[in-house]
Amino acid sequence: MADLNDGLLRLGLHDLHVALGGKMVPFAGYEMPVQYPDGVMKEHLHTRSAAGLFDVSHMGQVILRPKAGMEALKLAFEALMPVDVLGLAEGRQRYGLFTNDTGGILDDLMFTNRGDHLYVVVNAACKAADIAHMTAGMPGVSVEPVTDRALLALQGPGAQAALEALLPGVAAMKFMDHRVIGDVWVSRSGYTGEDGYEISVSDPKAEDFARKLLAQPGVAPIGLGARDSLRLEAGLCLYGHDIDTTTSPVEANLTWAIQKARKAGGAREGGFPGAARILKELAEGPERLRVGLKPEGRAPMREGVELFAPDGTPVGRVTSGGFGPSVNAPIAMGYVARSHATTGSVLEGVVRGKRLPLTVTDLPFHPTSYKR
């Protein structure tokens, strides 16, 4: 990563993005490609029908090494979040959530059991804080930021064939499997709702690897714009927008990420920051919930739109919104009072001074296609 005069960091693959016609914009402290010449709509639909290659090297990659054995490491990491780390098998990856003492979410992340250590991927805007949080919270663990590797996401129905051509054997991987193949780290996961892979490659080899992937049939470069519309259609949260330090995992409808072992009556109930609030909300329900929202008509309702019941009572706010190319309609997510969070509830959102109807709907907006 290179520092620029304006304070932005430059990706190792910056020159490749520029050569491909990428429109570079500031994002999370980096200069990132928001789109390529085909544009966001075509890039989105191409990912759903073939394969899209995303550069997500701005994300934080971290290795956690034990000083006193893997079980001690797992328990120390587990103490930072309401997730079962101890039960994660070697070669498997899991979604996690760092919580604070009031039950809010500090960041969401992915972590992998690699036998003698854990591999963690955190959000770009949070990585410095996350590294400090892990270092302070796990004194018996070596927290090692990875600063010499690119991270690529290959997503879509054509991803398996494209990556199998370069790394034979990845086709056999299932959703959330992780493998180390030579010096390439591969997980079968992503953030688009599509089948695909995230691939960590050493910086010196990253451009050659990316060019070889782009040379495979059906693979095209995809920017941040389509990444956002894809994850929104998949009903996936964007940190700092749909989840933050004030939202709990229960409010965010992320209770699927809290395994039985950490819930009331589980083998390792509680013991994580914010447990009192989170366990109470699991038992009694939260005051508000993240829900899918479908505006009527063609006008998108974007982040910040206030939501009201038909009688004018304020009930919530949109946290992500835009146009869904695959569903050919505006879509949104937001938080609404639990009394109005039932699927089919009709609400109103204020757009340019007018109240327009929208309906609470199930997530995701577009079916996922993970390889189970």
Burial class (CB in 10 A: 0-12, 13-18, 19+), 300: middle
Residue 192 within any structural domain of the chain: yes
Quick one: 43 and 160 in the same domain?
yes
Q: Residue 119 carries which DSSP code?
A: E
Structure tokens at 366: 């577009």
Residue 113 within any structural domain of the chain: no
Residue 241 within any structural domain of the chain: no
Of 118, 85, 83, the residue nearest 97 (C-alpha): 83
Here the CATH number for the domain that contains residue 52 is 3.30.1360.120
pLDDT per residue over 264-289, tens digit each? 999 999 999 999 999 999 999 999 99
Choice between 2 and 180, residue whose per-residue pLDDT is larger = 180
Quick one: 46 and 160 in the same domain?
yes
Which of helix, strand or coil describes residue 73?
helix
Residue 81 within any structural domain of the chain: no
Q: What is the pLDDT of residue 332?
A: 98
Distances (CA, A) of 89 to 85, 92, 104, 171, 177: 9, 6, 27, 20, 10
Residue 215 within any structural domain of the chain: yes
Quick one: 44 and 164 in the same domain?
yes
| Domain count along the chain | 2
Please state, in angstroms and rounded to a whole number, the distance separating the CA atoms of residues 91 and 303.
Answer: 37
Confidence of residue 3 (pLDDT cuts 50, 70, 90): low
Question: For residue 28, what are the domain limits?
Answer: 2-57+148-233
Cα angle, residue 306 at apex, residues 98 and 356 outer, rounded to 5°: 135
Residue 256 within any structural domain of the chain: no
Is 195:176 a contact under the CB 8 Å cutoff?
A: no
Residue 272 within any structural domain of the chain: no
Residue 108 makes CB contacts below 8 A (sequence gap 6+) with 95, 96, 97, 98, 123, 237, 239, 243, 254
pLDDT per residue over 114-125, tens digit each? 999 999 999 999
Cα 353 to chain center, whole Å?
33
Pair type for strands 30-35 and 9-10: parallel
Quick one: 215 and 324 in the same domain?
no
Here the CATH number for the domain that contains residue 301 is 2.40.30.110
Is 305:321 a contact under the CB 8 Å cutoff?
A: yes
Quick one: 203 and 307 in the same domain?
no
Name the helix (H) or strand (E) containing 348. Answer: strand 346-351
Residue 32 within any structural domain of the chain: yes
Residue 1 has pLDDT above 60, yes or no: no
Residue 45 has pLDDT above 60, yes or no: yes
pTM: 0.96
Please state, in angstroms and rounded to a whole number, the distance separating the CA atoms of residues 122 and 112.
Answer: 12
Task: Kindly report the average pLDDT of the chain as a whole number.
Answer: 97
Helices (H), the chain: 14-19, 40-49, 70-78, 127-137, 159-166, 203-214, 224-233, 275-284
Ranges 3-12, 34-43, 97-106, 167-176: which has the least confidence: 3-12
Structure tokens at 69: 């054995």
Please state, in angstroms and rounded to a whole number, the distance separating the CA atoms of residues 177 and 188.
Answer: 6
